[in-house]
C-alpha cells in the first residue's frame, strides 16, 4: 500500500466496464492505478505497477485470465487477485483458487460489494460470493474430504494435519454457509463441541475464519 491507500489494477476487455469500475472504486482508501484490456497486458502491468489487488476477468484476448493469474502469482505471489467474471461456474471457481486467487465474484454481483471485497483480500483474507460457494459445495459428491498431503516442494511437511472425519463434516457444513447452531443440530452434538471442532480445523489448516476454511475446502479434497 502507498500512503495508506490500496492500489488496484483492473483487467477486463470491456472498456465500458473497466472505466465504470475505475470511477466507482476511486475512494479515500482505494486508488485505481490502471486498466488492462487483455491477459498479456494484465501480466505486464501487474509486474510493472505492483498493485495490492488485481480485479481480473477470465475471458480476454491474447491470454485468458487463468494463464494471466498463473503467471502473475508465479512472478509476484503477494499480488492479491480477485476474479470478476461473467462465467461464474463451479469449475472456474475451483480452478481460480487452485491457481492462487484470493477472491471470486460474479459480474452480476452488487457492485457495492466490490470495494469491501478489495479491502478484505488486501488485508490477507479470502472472499467468494456465498451463492457461488454453496453451489460448488452442492456439486461435491464425497461426504468427507480425502486426506491431503500438505508438503512443500522440498518434501517437508508444512505443519497442516489431516482432519478427522467429524472435523471434515463440520468443514463441509461451514462451506455451505451454516452457522454453529445449525451445524450442531445436523450433527446432533452440542454447540460447544462444534466450537471445539472449528478451533481444531482453523489450527490444523492454518486459516483465519470461516471464509478461508471454506476456500480451503474448495481447493482441496472436497473439490476432487
pLDDT band at 44 (very low <50, low <70, confident <90, very high): very high
Q: Provide the CATH topology of domain 141-223.
A: Arc Repressor Mutant, subunit A (1.10.10)
Enter the pTM of the model.
0.65
Q: What average pLDDT does this structure show over 79-87?
A: 91
Lowest-pLDDT range, 32-46, 52-66, 150-164? 150-164
In the chain, the percentage of residues whose pLDDT exceeds 70 is: 80
Q: Which pLDDT value is given to residue 151?
A: 41
Q: Which pLDDT value is given to residue 205?
A: 84
Of the two residues 219 and 92, the one the predictor is more confident about is: 92
Of the two residues 188 and 130, the one the predictor is more confident about is: 188
Q: What ranges do the domains of the chain cover?
A: 6-136, 141-223
Residue owning grid cell 500500500: 1
On whether the 6-136 domain is CATH 3.40.50.2300, my answer is yes
Distance CA 76, CA 37 (A): 20
What does residue 147 show for φ and ψ, rounded to 5 degrees? -60, 135
Sheet containing strand 30-36, strands side by side: 30-36, 6-11, 53-56, 80-85, 103-106, 127-128
Distance CA 45, CA 34 (A): 8
Distance CA 139, CA 142 (A): 9
Q: What average pLDDT does this structure show over 80-105?
A: 86
In the chain, the percentage of residues whose pLDDT exceeds 90 is: 30
Q: Which pLDDT value is given to residue 146?
A: 41
pLDDT band at 220 (very low <50, low <70, confident <90, very high): low
Q: Supply the mean pLDDT for the chain.
A: 80
For the stretch 135-191, pLDDT in tens is 655 554 444 444 444 443 334 343 345 788 888 888 888 776 677 888 888 888 898
Q: Which pLDDT value is given to residue 157?
A: 40
Q: Which pLDDT value is given to residue 159?
A: 32
pLDDT band at 23 (very low <50, low <70, confident <90, very high): confident
Q: Which pLDDT value is given to residue 131?
A: 67
Q: Which of 50, 52, 56 is nearest to 29 (CA)?
A: 52
Q: Residue 133 in contact with residue 214, Cβ under 8 Å?
A: yes
Residue owning grid cell 452480476: 108
Amino acid at each position: 500500500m502507498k500512503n495508506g491507500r490500496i492500489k488496484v489494477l483492473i483487467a477486463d476487455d470491456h472498456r465500458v466496464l473497466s472505466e465504470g469500475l475505475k470511477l466507482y472504486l476511486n475512494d479515500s482508501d482505494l486508488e485505481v492505478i490502471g486498466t488492462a484490456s487483455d491477459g498479456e497486458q494484465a501480466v505486464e502491468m501487474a509486474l510493472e505497477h505492483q498493485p495490492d489487488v488485481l480485479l481480473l476477468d477470465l475471458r480476454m484476448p491474447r491470454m485468458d485470465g487463468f494463464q494471466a493469474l498463473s503467471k502473475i502469482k508465479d512472478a509476484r505471489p503477494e499480488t492479491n487477485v480477485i476474479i470478476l467474471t461473467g462465467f461464474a461456474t463451479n469449475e472456474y471457481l475451483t480452478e481460480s483458487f487452485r491457481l492462487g486467487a484470493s477472491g471470486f465474484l460474479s459480474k452480476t454481483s452488487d457492485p457495492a460489494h466490490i470495494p469491501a471485497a478489495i479491502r478484505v483480500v488486501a488485508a490477507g483474507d479470502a472472499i467468494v460470493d456465498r451463492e457461488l460457494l454453496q453451489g460448488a459445495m452442492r456439486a461435491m459428491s464425497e461426504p468427507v474430504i480425502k486426506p491431503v498431503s500438505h508438503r512443500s516442494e522440498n518434501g517437508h511437511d508444512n505443519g497442516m494435519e489431516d482432519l478427522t472425519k467429524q472435523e471434515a463434516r463440520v468443514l463441509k457444513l461451514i462451506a455451505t454457509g451454516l452457522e454453529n447452531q445449525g451445524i450442531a443440530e445436523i450433527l446432533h452434538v452440542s454447540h460447544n463441541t462444534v466450537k471445539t471442532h472449528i478451533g481444531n480445523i482453523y489450527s490444523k489448516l492454518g486459516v483465519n475464519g470461516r471464509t478461508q476454511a471454506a476456500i480451503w475446502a474448495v481447493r482441496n479434497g472436497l473439490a476432487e
